[in-house]
Structure 1
């Protein structure tokens, strides 16, 4: 009876939220319903674990989840998912509440959920998914997650002996190491492409997740991911993954995978692993042929604010939202900007992650990143904003050799202040990086100002 009370209460709450703002409430109903029935997720009816996929990892899980859902739905599959990005058990519970009948029965072809890598064990205790996709395990918000090897060990304990089919990133050392824990392994990867790069010996690599000796990268397709081998044991990327993105043409926004031709919805290197994973899942989990998945790619648009191109008062603004206190996503954005040979303005709004007290007390993650190629490129000006990280951001540029006269600092996240500075740039080529909170305010401002999105 407790389950039904929780379910009906949550449905009423969702109804009220929809009346106020349909964009809100991605985990509110589930969080409060689970106070009534803490085992609520386990009590929904009609879920076959073989039809359940969890998508987890440090970076790329939201985009991969959105793309997989898009492919499945374009091919006539009914999917229940947490597309709002609420990836703890409350978000999963809310998605099931919204899709269920008044008796708690859910009807769908597939259940596909983005899950926080730390909470996979918690969610699987109530929803024993038989399929798991791991995008990567990298540095992320150290005061909350600690070292990525801690997350690796925690996830290892959760999947060992669980008879899972695991989709894993062939070229990320920690993800690759889960091959020994799976009932079935499906690997995905990306062949070396024109934006691949090497790092000098002065940059720290990582320890092998199996023997703790040095991992050597033959090259990087994106930061921390590429063909690799351990200098001591046999841990290495396969020469060819089961599903591999090949023949990448950034200029024409195309690639090939599994014998099919694809158009890139977004022509940035870090997206290629999301594409590769989605094609693998579509075929192996959903029975969708790569050629059918390719047709769906043409109409894909990522969740708002991940990567946007906007036209505002004669400026072309290339907006990238990054996870705060995550050096890999910041490095990826730096690489994108550095690869642009044209004159540009860089507007960087790094912010403290306001979750655990004290905020912003551990480290400044920009020192884990290589800014040298960006600084050597044609940058008109650097704009560092946000409170209080703007000063650290400016210092990071100065330590990299940037003339302080080219740096503007604004101890604020006021959207009007940000765009006034952008308007004053001589170049029309603007790169803007912020976090989600700033984007939400920025989106309202741009809509009011008549900006046009591509």
Structure 2
């Protein structure tokens, strides 16, 4: 910052001032949380904004990247560091493109663009990581997983991994790179890097799936292309594996997952917990403090978030790709077996942030969800696509006429409602007081649902 010319300093001040004014106006008019627009404006006014802000973070920037779990993992890591007394900047709303990262950093900067913070935890869209690394030299990168997600935008997982490797390779050797060992693509990536690589992963065979699911992305050796031998899979292609041809095998995790506490439901949240804990450990936080923070952690918005609405208990489970929805179904069905839920609201959108291609729902194993019975309320921009997928899952899943009561003799009931507010109200009314309403939305649908339930929208 001290090397800036007078003209560049004035330009920076103008960019920061305009961005903060936009933030104030958006919030004053209750238009949202202003998590994207201020950063976009600041970047246009000063293209080097991200780098200028990132270099001021005293203890370093932590980039959290992957297809699923970024927000939950980031918030847990933030809680751990804040409880150690550190000042932490974080893009908590989940705005993970470059404009969202700049917005988060600007929020903690003064009118002159001076930033006083210890750590910046920035969750980053997997396709944007190489661009971010051009302007930002992080202290740590946390790679959670790579699944197929919005193929209309990104392509296959191996091409993303190759771009990551090329972007990470020039970073200093003391850069921490925490990698999911259970993901063959990422494990292979870690083995090829010269940086300070460490691994997390599960070691609980009792959590193996009975078979490899249909929504699987990477079961071939990333080194030689041979089909991997799996001792078992935890979700999608994540599991315990080795290559029978070239000897490639799962990297050794830093610690055993069975010894770690977990507060959020789902196997996928075991990974999120381990990931956050590993990075905190690498940054010098002792294990006892990490465990205490895990036990008191509350879910991020939309990610197993729990709300009380009209006296009803509601849990929102963001699901935006085949692996995510399969794991959500697995968690919901476990709760159904315990008699904790009988009504589910599914909301499918196809906007840019969701991915415009919704054919991925046919890679989801919806049959177990339908077979477990209950009432399914479906809404969203592509509600009829989702309804058709459920219909194919069970032939006796019948749509009732308006005002018709549930049918005797049928295990499942399907209700279609184009108006999302009405769909939410119907689902709430059908949820018994002693049960939990599970809402399963895609990303933009999650934002809309939260806006309806809480009276606030998130921009």
TM range (shorter): 0.7 to 0.9
Which whole-Å CA distance do the structure 2 matches of 1:17 and 1:372 have between them? 44
CA-CA distance at 1:139 after TM superposition: 0.8
Match of 1:199 in 2: 211
Q: C-alpha offsets along residues 328-382 of structure 1, whole Å, 9 cap, x if unaligned?
A: 111111111232314553534242321299x84x4521221223433443x1333
Which whole-Å CA distance do the structure 2 matches of 1:337 and 1:313 have between them? 22
Q: C-alpha offsets along residues 244-287 of structure 1, whole Å, 9 cap, x if unaligned?
A: 311xxxxxxxxx24xxxx3x3313221011110111111112x1
Residues 49 and 129 of structure 1 are in contact (CA less than 8 Å); yes or no, is this contact kept in structure 2? Answer: no
Match of 2:266 in 1: 268
Residue 121 to residue 49, structure 1, CA distance change in 2 (3 Å): farther
**Range 148-157 or range 117-126, more displaced:** 148-157
CA-CA distance at 1:23 after TM superposition: 5.0
2:198 is the counterpart of 1:183: no
Residues 45 and 105 of structure 1 are in contact (CA less than 8 Å); yes or no, is this contact kept in structure 2? Answer: no
Match of 1:391 in 2: 384
Match of 1:222 in 2: 235
1:43-442 alignment runs, 5 A limit: 43-44=52-53, 47=56, 51-163=60-172, 164-179=175-190, 180-192=192-204, 194-199=206-211, 206=218, 207-238=220-251, 240-246=252-258, 256-257=259-260, 262=261, 264-285=262-283, 287-310=284-307, 316-323=313-320, 326-340=321-335, 341-342=337-338, 344-355=341-352, 360=356, 362=357, 364-377=359-372, 379-387=373-381, 389-405=382-398, 406-424=412-430, 428=435, 430-442=437-449
Residue 221 to residue 423, structure 1, CA distance change in 2 (3 Å): same
Q: C-alpha offsets along residues 405-428 of structure 1, whole Å, 9 cap, x if unaligned?
A: 334241514222333255246794
Q: CA RMSD in A?
A: 2.9
Which consecutive residues of structure 1, in runs of 5 or more, have no partner in the other structure?
247-255, 449-454
What is the SS of the residue equivalent to 2:305?
A: strand
Residue 205 to residue 305, structure 1, CA distance change in 2 (3 Å): closer
What is the TM-score of this pair, normalised by structure 1?
Answer: 0.84
CA-CA distance at 1:46 after TM superposition: 5.4
CA-CA distance at 1:225 after TM superposition: 1.6
Residue 431 to residue 93, structure 1, CA distance change in 2 (3 Å): closer
Residue 22 to residue 202, structure 1, CA distance change in 2 (3 Å): closer
Count of residue correspondences: 426
Residues 135 and 169 of structure 1 are in contact (CA less than 8 Å); yes or no, is this contact kept in structure 2? Answer: yes
Which whole-Å CA distance do the structure 2 matches of 1:120 and 1:424 have between them? 43
Match of 1:249 in 2: none
Residues 46 and 106 of structure 1 are in contact (CA less than 8 Å); yes or no, is this contact kept in structure 2? Answer: no
Q: C-alpha offsets along residues 7-51 of structure 1, whole Å, 9 cap, x if unaligned?
A: 222233233334334951112111101111111222338536872
Residue 94 to residue 421, structure 1, CA distance change in 2 (3 Å): closer
Residues 140 and 176 of structure 2 are in contact (CA less than 8 Å); yes or no, is this contact kept in structure 1? Answer: yes
What is the TM-score of this pair, normalised by structure 2?
Answer: 0.83
What is the SS of the residue equivalent to 2:110?
A: coil
What is the SS of the residue equivalent to 2:256?
A: strand
What is the SS of the residue equivalent to 1:59?
A: coil
CA-CA distance at 1:99 after TM superposition: 1.6
Which whole-Å CA distance do the structure 2 matches of 1:66 and 1:185 have between them? 22
- Identify which of structures 1 and 2 has the higher relative contact order when contacts are C-alpha pairs closer than 8 Å and 6+ apart: 2
Match of 1:29 in 2: 38
Match of 1:251 in 2: none
Residue 82 to residue 381, structure 1, CA distance change in 2 (3 Å): closer
